[in-house]
Amino acid sequence: MSINGIFGSALSGLSVSQTALSTISNNIANMNTTGYAREVVNQQAQVSGSQLSGVDVADIQRITDQFLNAQVLSAQGAASQAGVQNDTYTQLNAFLGSPGSGSSISSQLDNVFSALSSASLAPTSLPNQQAAVNSFGNLASTISNLSNSIQGLRTNVDQQISGSIATVNTLINQIYTLNTQISAANSTTTPPNGLMDQRDAALQQLSQYIGVRSQPGPNGQLIVSTQDGVTLVGSSYGQLSYTSSNGVGSYPPIQLAMIDPATGQSVGSTTALDPHLSSGKLQGFIDMRDGALAQLGQELGNFAQTTANAFNAQSNANTSYPAPASLTGRDTGLVSSDAMNFTGNTTLAITDANGNLVHRIDINFTTGQMSVDGGANMGFGGTISDFLSTLNGAFGSSGSGSFANGALTLAATGGNGIAVQDTTSPPSSRGGSSFAQFFGLNDIFRTSGQPITATGMSTSDAGNFAAGGVISLALKDTTGQIVKTASVTLNGTETIGSIISALNSAFGGAATFSLGASGTLTQSLGSNYANDSLSVSQDTTSRGDTGMSFTELFNVGPDQQAALASGFSVNPALTNTPQDIPFAQANLSGATVGSTVITAGDARGLTALQNVATNQQSFAKAGALTAQTTSLGSYASALYQDIATRSSSAQSANTQTSDLLTAAQTQQSSVSGVNLDQELTNMMSYQQAYSAAARALQTADALYTTLLQIQ
């Protein structure tokens, strides 16, 4: 080899060693940088013609493993999804209170029966009456506050979905931009390793929100898609859009549009992304909003509805001593032109301050007749208006009845009180509820919406809904994707039956509604939609002066059931006048004017209210809880157990997925991460190589000097 050859080889060795030392320096500097993949210098022999002429850098290689990278992406998505769910359950458990704590529903229910037990010793004692009303109020507030907290969580989760969209769009755009830069850099001699590190970091951040996978594209690019293959980054890039909804149950899907980078405009049709979210925060948010939280709301609404009906059925069979001056019912959703549709018998009693009978009006709904104080029968028409017209004539100057905004009011005059009691042969009934219970004349609890689903209406009844109202319903599959919609606009002339028929036609067999003999609206799903759920997207209908919509009137959709708990409260009449709490029972059998029909100290009504604690109640299927016949306390315990089970599962899933993510990241780091000991060893090796090349260069220089000195 010539001296020039020695110079060339030595210089190439110096250059390669310098490049290697620079690479090692970068590795050490970035050993704690997230997403950094260590680099190694690959060397190759430098050949000139057929002769070796030193050494050269073949490339600077990023050390990555595609399989391990995919494992980390998958684990990151699962861990983020589980983390969202666990965090939400943590917030939820803070609202619940443990079953044994004073703030739980079970404890408040126990307090109700404890207060009733104490009141039984002196049922006319105002402090005892006030304590009982307070205990009912505390139970109602606990249920209502919990319901509102659950809905607040749903709203918060929905807002987090909306807030996450901007982050996802930024990451998708960043990956696309880096793809473009990497592709351009690959056409030069400079390896775009830093850009690739940035892209991998952005991809891992994206996997926290959406379950993604990647595959190599042309010229160093990455094609990014959802786990089931919906493209997010390719020759174009995706852009997500979502409008957060304030309406319960009407949450729209996340939409994905592909953007042409040349124009910035969307190309092709948009895609609902929800069914393609296999993991990540977005999937976790949707699971909680539309799954667990929605189901818990339904379970709580079911408990509120059954609790209200159980206590109200008994309280409406009771009265107070003395009887209250007036009884005002709830909004039934009925208008004065609606048919009474009652059968059986009931009695209205006007009593004085000592519980003595002043007047009695016996009503036979089956025959459409009533009589005053055992006198001649008076016939009444079939509508609520007709009934009240005859009733007011029967009252004369002793009382009055009125009906407005869906609520019936009965009042006594002259300082007297009014009580309602059914006879036993047969008792009054509209859809299975007594006259007093159906109108809620002596309720203890009030709910938002209709607690009595058996409306007593028939298909021939006039709809009485204002023209222009729109009912929009949707069927959603298990992923939350809307698979079928139905919308009906009312013209104001429909019957209840024709509205139901219009909904059935709009659904085309996917869902079918029918009105039972008791006036309960039931639904059935077609065979292709058996696992779907029905939700109310919009209902702007309004019935007469009640303001009640069609779906409120018939409790359509699971969110109507959940809403029953949101406004759960004690009847304002009892809050304002606790001495009107119905602890007594009127004794009207064979009673005539002047007879004592309500006595001081009568606790029969109170005892009957106490028995509600152990009475078996029929609970419909709601959320994850099956239809069952059990006590109120047992159902409350089942509700808490359902949440405890879900919370425990979420916590276990969070721990497990976090462990799997840590394991995947450790494996990835063992390949791609920087090992300081190894880098220091390599540094020493290249330092020695650099020194050796420098020594060779010195030797060649000495040879040149010697040659120049030869004369």
Q: In terms of C-beta density within 10 A (0-12 exposed, 13-18 middle, 19 or more buried), how is residue 100 classed?
A: exposed
365 closest CA partner among 316, 435, 432, 433? 435
What six digits make up the tokens of 560? 């109507």
The pLDDT, as a whole number, for residue 600 is 93
Please give the residue that has the higher pLDDT: either 174 or 685.
174
Question: pLDDT tens digit string along 148-195?
Answer: 999 999 999 999 999 999 999 999 999 999 999 999 988 777 788 889
- Average of pLDDT values for 330-338? 97
31 closest CA partner among 673, 689, 679, 709? 673
Class of domain 325-441: mainly beta
pLDDT tier at 101 (50, 70, 90 boundaries)? low
pLDDT tier at 249 (50, 70, 90 boundaries)? low
- Average of pLDDT values for 135-146? 96
Question: pLDDT tens digit string along 418-464?
Answer: 999 998 789 999 999 999 999 999 999 999 889 999 999 999 999 99
Question: pLDDT tens digit string along 23-74?
Answer: 888 889 888 887 788 888 888 888 777 777 778 887 887 888 889 889 999 9
474 closest CA partner among 551, 547, 543? 551
Cα separation of 94 and 76, whole Å?
A: 27
pLDDT over 80 (residue 126): yes
The pLDDT, as a whole number, for residue 699 is 81
Cα separation of 328 and 336, whole Å?
A: 16
Which DSSP string do the residues of 569-596 spell out, in sequence order?
EE-HHHHH-GGGS--B----TT--TT-B
Cα separation of 478 and 290, whole Å?
A: 10
Cα separation of 302 and 94, whole Å?
A: 22
pLDDT over 90 (residue 304): yes
Determine how many CB atoms are found less than 10 A away from the CB of residue 705: 9
The pLDDT, as a whole number, for residue 500 is 97
pLDDT over 90 (residue 581): yes
Handedness of CA 439, 441, 445, 447 (dihedral sign): positive
pLDDT over 90 (residue 480): no
- Average of pLDDT values for 225-253? 86
Average pLDDT, the chain: 92
Cα separation of 172 and 238, whole Å?
A: 7
pLDDT tier at 98 (50, 70, 90 boundaries)? low
530: three-class secondary structure by DSSP:
coil
What six digits make up the tokens of 303? 């408990």
pLDDT tier at 618 (50, 70, 90 boundaries)? very high
pLDDT over 70 (residue 1): no
Cα separation of 507 and 496, whole Å?
A: 17
Please give the residue that has the higher pLDDT: either 699 or 228.
228
- The dihedrals phi and psi of 238, each to the nearest 5 degrees, come to -85, 155
The pLDDT, as a whole number, for residue 335 is 98
The pLDDT, as a whole number, for residue 31 is 87
Question: pLDDT tens digit string along 378-412?
Answer: 999 999 999 999 999 999 999 999 999 999 999 99
pLDDT over 70 (residue 268): yes
Cα separation of 647 and 426, whole Å?
A: 49
Please give the residue that has the higher pLDDT: either 243 or 322.
322
CB contact set of 190 (below 8 Å; sequence gap of 6+): none
Tokens 């606990």, located at residue: 142
Cα separation of 441 and 327, whole Å?
A: 5
pLDDT over 60 (residue 616): yes
Rounded to two decimals, the pTM is: 0.89
Which DSSP string do the residues of 412-461 spell out, in sequence order?
E-TT-EEEEEE-SSSBPBBTTB-HHHHHTTT-SEE-SS-S-------TTS
pLDDT over 60 (residue 223): yes
525 closest CA partner among 539, 507, 538? 507
Asked if 674 contacts 28 with a C-beta cutoff of 8 angstroms, the reply is yes
DSSP at 629: E
CB neighbour burial string for 333-350, b if at least 16 within 10 angstroms, e if fewer: bbbbebbbbbebbbbbbb
438 closest CA partner among 353, 344, 299? 344
The secondary structure of 123-176, three-state, reads CCCHHHHHHHHHHHHHHHHHHHHHHHHHHHHHHHHHHHHHHHHHHHHHHHHHHH
Asked if 406 contacts 332 with a C-beta cutoff of 8 angstroms, the reply is yes
The pLDDT, as a whole number, for residue 639 is 93
For residue 129, list its beta bridge partners. none
Q: What is the chain's percent helix, strand, coil content, to nearest 5?
A: 45, 20, 30
Cα separation of 438 and 428, whole Å?
A: 10
Question: pLDDT tens digit string along 509-560?
Answer: 999 999 999 999 999 999 999 989 898 988 999 999 999 999 999 999 888 8
Window from 8-22, 222-236, 505-519 with minimum mean pLDDT: 8-22
pLDDT tier at 133 (50, 70, 90 boundaries)? very high
pLDDT over 70 (residue 226): yes
pLDDT tier at 94 (50, 70, 90 boundaries)? confident
- Average of pLDDT values for 298-321? 97
Q: In terms of C-beta density within 10 A (0-12 exposed, 13-18 middle, 19 or more buried), how is residue 266 classed?
A: middle
Question: pLDDT tens digit string along 619-639?
Answer: 999 989 999 999 999 999 999
- Average of pLDDT values for 637-665? 94
The pLDDT, as a whole number, for residue 157 is 94
pLDDT over 80 (residue 572): yes
The pLDDT, as a whole number, for residue 479 is 72
Q: Helices (H) and strands (E) in the chain — how many of each? A: 16, 25
pLDDT over 80 (residue 99): no
